[in-house]
Structure formats: structure tokens, C-alpha cells
Amino acid sequence: MSEKSFKVLLHEPFRLKLAESLLPRLKQMDPSAELEPVYKALVEPPNPDMGHLAFGCFIFAKVLKKSPAQVATDLKAQWQPVDGIASVEAAGPYLNFKFTSEFLAQHTVENVLNGSVFKTKLVAEPPKTMFEYSQPNTHKELHVGHMRNLCLGDSLVRLYRRTYGNDMVISTTFPGDVGTHVAKCLWYIENHVGMDVLDQKRKDPLKAEWLGQMYSAGNIKLEDEEKDPVKYEKNKAQLTEILKQLEAGSGKYFDLWKETREWSIDLMEQVYRWAGVEFDRWYWESEVDSASVKTVKKYFAEGKLIESQGAIGLDFSNENLGFCMLLKSDGTGLYATKDVELARRKFEDFKIEKSIYVVDMRQALHFKQVFRTLEVLGFEQAKNCYHLQYNFVELPDGAMSSRKGNIIPLTSLVNRMRDHVKTEYLARYSNEWPQPEIESVADVVAKGAIHYGMLRQDTNKKIVFDMNEWLKLDGESGPFIQYSYARINSLRKKFEAKGSFNGSLLTHPSEQKLMQHLMNFNTVIVNATENFKPSALCTYLYETAKKFNVFYHDCSIGNAETEELRQSRLALSAATGLILKEGLSLLGIPVPDRM
Ligand code: ARG
């Protein structure tokens, strides 16, 4: 994708240690050998029984004019013992290494418990990057589909902040507060609701949801009336009048827009607060709307755009992108016009080098045109603009549509999930736990279910929203991982963890596999960041929870042979808990203390 990328540091201390042990031996064979390629040639063997890390000998085979398998055999023959490495085996083109239990524990349990894993610097020279996500339209309903964008954008911002550093990542939103959808909503209120109902709605806490329903009703009504030529003309004239007033900034429709716009914004803020999302800057469609027309006229005057049949824009038809129209022949702007002005402001306001747009896949052509336009207009950052597309959210019985009336509004969805958690999981604690804790745990679990469900699927795949499935405690779900965390938390209390451990005692295969898995936390984060794939972190955390369960089953804490072994197992549990908590937080998911 983009040109300006970051440099991944050699951030895994255990890989570095192994690469450093290998380097002098490789240099004897090939004096030009260097550390970084050796580090990068270290991979995980497909089967953990083969070893903890493997070195692929391919990179030196060519220079040495030997087969990779021969290089592996030669290296093995010369191998001298190294602290922390328990065994070395040549297996085909690979050299397989096993670490000692002490070494594994040092790089997992110890470095997790002392927090260094969570602070390691992961990359160098990251470009200043902006994410734009969650761009709902005012006057429309917020539904479960919007959560995909919100969860994806939020998690990417969190992952990028961890990888790039907080100051290098800017989060923005761009709600659509003007346009035909607003006109349709106001049209319906004017013609089919009446001012007395509107007056009552002013006091209704659910007025924003109601507004969204008025938009849907308007949409359906207008569509139905299209067949009647008289009604069609009348409606068209009225919609034009509404849009005109909005643009002029005065008139009764403008006043109604201003008032109702706030209702939608209040609801958005409420949702963001609930989801733990904050934006550094809110850009509005209304703020770039008329400015964008001026900007485009200026570019045209400077000879940067062309005219075609009265319209102004750029012709990309020889690149299969068609004509990108920026001014219609009547002098009005379009969606792309606003995006050109928006991009210009983003570059200027924040001096960003890279700009990511989290927007659904239907807008792919639009963004291709906009990015090419920015390039022709001379913006250097155009090459580093990226449309992060994602697929739709459907219900088990098919696509959501306001016509079918099967849209699940966000607020009622969250309430339903909370209630489900309370009755299904938390009812048994009703006499034990204080009520506020029950409420808060139900809320935390609902968040876990939604975020994990929205993120576990790759962005190019459809998501089928299934509330019961997402809330399951025994399957791949957010609540399952939260539950694993809560169990670890209670273990530590039950057995009085002292935080001391002896890594050399953690020799059971289940302990080893868990530690080996924990070691890769930062690598998974960097990969998820680099590939815009929170789903990779989802999978990793699910695996972590499962490996923990196997360990907990195989290696008794209560019946550990010695107190020292018990404490070491508790320390491994605690480290697993911290990895789960930190990993979930990068997905935007909080954890409950108990569950
Ligand atoms: N509000 C728009 C919509 O609902 C999405 C805006 C996407 N962002 C952008 N810069 N065009 O379709």
C-alpha cells in the first residue's frame, strides 16, 4: 500500500538473543552476514514439540553454494552451548531451537509481570497518521451495523498508538450532518408529523432515535409517491427548498435542522462515551460543504482542473476510474468535492503524513477518485492515503433494511445484551454482589461481546450478527476471554499469590506451550498494526485463553507438589491475565474483576 511506512525494530529480546548467538557462527561461513536478516529468518516451527523457534537456513544457502539442509547440518555440527538454549536440532532446511524453562519464564512471566513487555519500543520513525472512522449521518438511526466501523476504527487507533506512540496518531470523525437524508427527514416531519407531536418529542429522551425513524418513514413515503407525477413534482420542489435553506443558513427548515442536528449529536456522544471512544477532532460535512466549492473553483482558476460538458473535475477514464466530477454544471458541489476540502484541511491542521479512512466497501471507487485527484492537485500525502474497506453486517435472516423494519437500533441492542448477561450469567450472584457491580459487569460483558464479534472477522468478510452466539461463554467470543481473565483474577486471590517464581520449575509441556505463546504478544501486535488486522489479535487472545485452560487443567495449582511450584504457576497465571487484559484493551474491551 502506502510508501511511507515504519521500520519494525528487533523488539523481541528472545529472538534477538538467539540471532546474536547465531551471528558469529554464520559470520565464519559468510563474513557479510548481518543481524537483522538472521533475526527475521527466525520462525515458529509448525509443531511446538519440534522447538520454540527455528532458523530457516535459506538466506545463506545461496551465498555458500550449499543446500539449506547442508547449512543446517553444518551449523548444528559446530554449535557450542549457549546460556538459555536447551537444545539445537537440524531438521531439513531448518535449525530448531528449544529454550530452557528458565529462559522462557524470564521472557514471559518476568517481563510481563514487571511491565517491560508492554513498554518495549516496537518501531522506529513512524509517520504521523490520522484515522477517520465512525462517520454516521445525523437524522438517521444508529444501528448495529455502525458498530463495525466504530469497533474497527477504535481498535486500529489503539493498536497504532501502542505501536507508533500516542502523539503520532490522530483520531477523527466526519459525521454527515447535511445532504438529502436530512432533507427527507425534515420533509416527513413537516408534512406527516405535525408541530404538536414535534413539540412533545422535544422532551423525549429517545428523540434522536425517533428522528431516525422519521428519516426512514420519509424515505419510504417519498419512494412510494414517486409513481404519482403530481406528488413527485411537489415533493421534489419541497426537498429543493429545504436544501436551499440549509445552504443559505436561514429559514424555518434551517432552524429545525439546527435543533434536530443536536439531538443526533447528543446520541453519538452518548454512544462514544459508552464505547470508550474519543476523537481528537470532529470534522463536519456542513463545515466543508460550501468551503469545498470555493476551493475547487480556485483550483480550476489555477488551471489544475478541466471542464467537460459544463462540469468541472478530472478525467481518469484511461485509468478506469471515470470522470471525477467536482462541480456540476449548475455550480454545486458533490461528495468528492467535500472530500477534497476535508483532506486538504486534515493535511494542514495536523501536518499528517499518512491518512486512513475507515469506510465501507461500497465507496471504493469514490476514494480511488479522490486520492488520484489529490495527487494531481499536488498533495504529497496523496500516496499515503488509504481507504480501509470493510464488508457488511447482516442478521441471521439476511440484510438489514429500514424498509423491512429489521434494523436493530444500537441503544435497544445494548440493553438487550445487558439483560441477557444479567439473567443468564449473573442471576446467581444477585444476593452476593452489590447491585451496581452486577450492572457494571453486565455492561462490560456486553461490550466484550460486541467488540469481539465485530473484530474477529477479517474486514473483507461479512459479519452475521448473532447475539446469543456472541455472548457465549464456551466458544470464540469476547465474554469467553473476559471470563478467562476473571478466573485468573480469582485464582490469585484464592491462593494468595506472592509474585515470586522459579522459572526452572515450569517444565510441563502445557506450561511450556503457554509460555511460548505468551512470548509472541508484541509480534502479534506489530503484525495486526501493519496489516490493519485486529482479527489477528482476536485469534491470539482466544488461543491464549484456551492454552491457559489446558495448563490449568493439566497443572494443578491447589495440589502443586511444593509451595515454590504453586507460586510459579500462579505467576504464570498472573502473566497470562495481564496479557489478556492488555490485549483486550487494544481491542477496546474492558475486563471485569470477577464474573
Ligand atoms: N457519512 C458518509 C456515509 O455515510 C461516510 C463518510 C466517509 N468519510 C469520508 N471522508 N468521505 O456514507
Q: Could you read off the pLDDT of 447-500 as tens digits, one per residue?
A: 999 999 999 999 999 999 999 999 999 999 999 999 999 999 999 889 988 888
Of 472, 413, 440, nearest in space to 590 by CA: 440
Residue 253 has pLDDT above 60, yes or no: yes
* String of DSSP letters for 456-502: SS-TTS-EE--HHHHT-SSSSSHHHHHHHHHHHHHHHHHTT--S---
For the chain, the average pLDDT equals 95
Ligand 1 pocket (Cβ < 6 Å) reads 132, 135, 137, 174, 176, 339, 342, 357, 359
pLDDT at 280: 98
CATH classification for the domain delimited by 101-135+433-458+466-595, as one of 1.10.730.10, 1.10.287.130, 3.10.20.740, 3.40.50.920: 1.10.730.10
List, for residues 512-527, the tens digit of each pLDDT value. 999 999 999 999 999 9
Residue 230 to residues 48, 217, 233, 258: CA-CA distances in angstroms?
A: 74, 20, 5, 30
Q: Please state the atom number of ligand 1 nearest to the C-alpha of residue 285.
A: 1
For residue 6, name the pLDDT band (cuts at 50, 70, 90): confident
The number of beta carbons lying within 10 Å of the beta carbon of residue 379 is: 18
pLDDT, mean of residues 13-25: 94
Residue 79 has pLDDT above 80, yes or no: yes
| Displacement of CA 61 from its chain's centroid (Å) | 40
> One-letter amino acid identity for 251?
G
Residue 34 has pLDDT above 70, yes or no: yes
Q: What is the pTM of this model?
A: 0.95
Q: Which three cell numbers stand for residue 296?
A: 475547487
Q: What percent of the chain has pLDDT over 90?
A: 91
* String of DSSP letters for 257-271: HHHHHHHHHHHHHHH
Q: What residue has cell string 499536488?
A: 378
Q: Please state the atom number of ligand 1 nearest to the C-alpha of residue 363.
A: 12
Please choose from 261, 346, 359 the residue to mutate so as to test ligand 1's pocket, defined by most ligand atoms within 8 A of CB.
359
Topology (CATH) of 7-99:
Gyrase A; domain 2 (3.30.1360)
List, for residues 537-560, the tens digit of each pLDDT value. 999 999 999 999 999 999 999 999
Q: Please state the atom number of ligand 1 nearest to the C-alpha of residue 176.
A: 1
Q: Do residues 221 and 186 lie in contact, with contact meaning Cβ atoms separated by under 8 Å?
A: no
pLDDT at 4: 56
Helix (H) or strand (E) holding 206: none
List, for residues 97-120, the tens digit of each pLDDT value. 999 999 999 999 999 999 999 999
Residue 485 to residues 346, 393, 587: CA-CA distances in angstroms?
A: 40, 28, 15
Residue 49 has pLDDT above 90, yes or no: no
What are the boundaries of each domain within the chain?
7-99, 101-135+433-458+466-595, 138-173+279-393, 180-277
For residue 1, name the pLDDT band (cuts at 50, 70, 90): very low
pLDDT, mean of residues 302-317: 97
pLDDT, mean of residues 411-428: 94
List, for residues 217-252, the tens digit of each pLDDT value. 999 999 999 999 999 999 999 999 999 999 899 999
Give the CA radius of gyration of the chain: 29
Residue 73 has pLDDT above 80, yes or no: yes
Better-predicted residue by pLDDT, 201 or 48: 201
- Tell me the CA–centroid distance for residue 359 and ligand 1, in Å: 7
Helix (H) or strand (E) holding 123: strand 123-124
Give the angle 371-376-378 at the CA atoms, nearest 5°: 100
SS3 content of the chain, % helix, strand, coil (to 5): 60, 10, 30
The number of beta carbons lying within 10 Å of the beta carbon of residue 440 is: 15
d(CA 264, CA 209): 8
Residue 2 has pLDDT above 50, yes or no: no
Q: Do residues 359 and 102 lie in contact, with contact meaning Cβ atoms separated by under 8 Å?
A: no
> Which CATH code fits 138-173+279-393?
3.40.50.620
- Tell me the CA–centroid distance for residue 390 and ligand 1, in Å: 13
Q: What residue has cell string 477479517?
A: 458
List, for residues 423-453, the tens digit of each pLDDT value. 999 999 999 999 999 999 999 999 999 999 9
pLDDT at 3: 52
Q: What residue has cell string 420542489?
A: 237
Q: What percent of the chain has pLDDT over 70?
A: 99
Q: Which three cell numbers stand for residue 271?
A: 454512544
Please choose from 130, 131, 133, 135 the residue to mutate so as to test ligand 1's pocket, defined by most ligand atoms within 8 A of CB.
135
Residue 318 has pLDDT above 80, yes or no: yes
- Tell me the CA–centroid distance for residue 188 and ligand 1, in Å: 23
Per DSSP, 322 falls in state: E
Rama region for 80: left / alpha / beta (φ>0; ψ in -120 to 50; rest): beta
- Tell me the CA–centroid distance for residue 388 and ligand 1, in Å: 12
Residue 403 has pLDDT above 80, yes or no: no
List, for residues 193-209, the tens digit of each pLDDT value. 988 999 999 999 999 99
Rama region for 67: left / alpha / beta (φ>0; ψ in -120 to 50; rest): beta
Please choose from 171, 340, 363 the residue to mutate so as to test ligand 1's pocket, defined by most ligand atoms within 8 A of CB.
363
3-state secondary structure of 186: helix
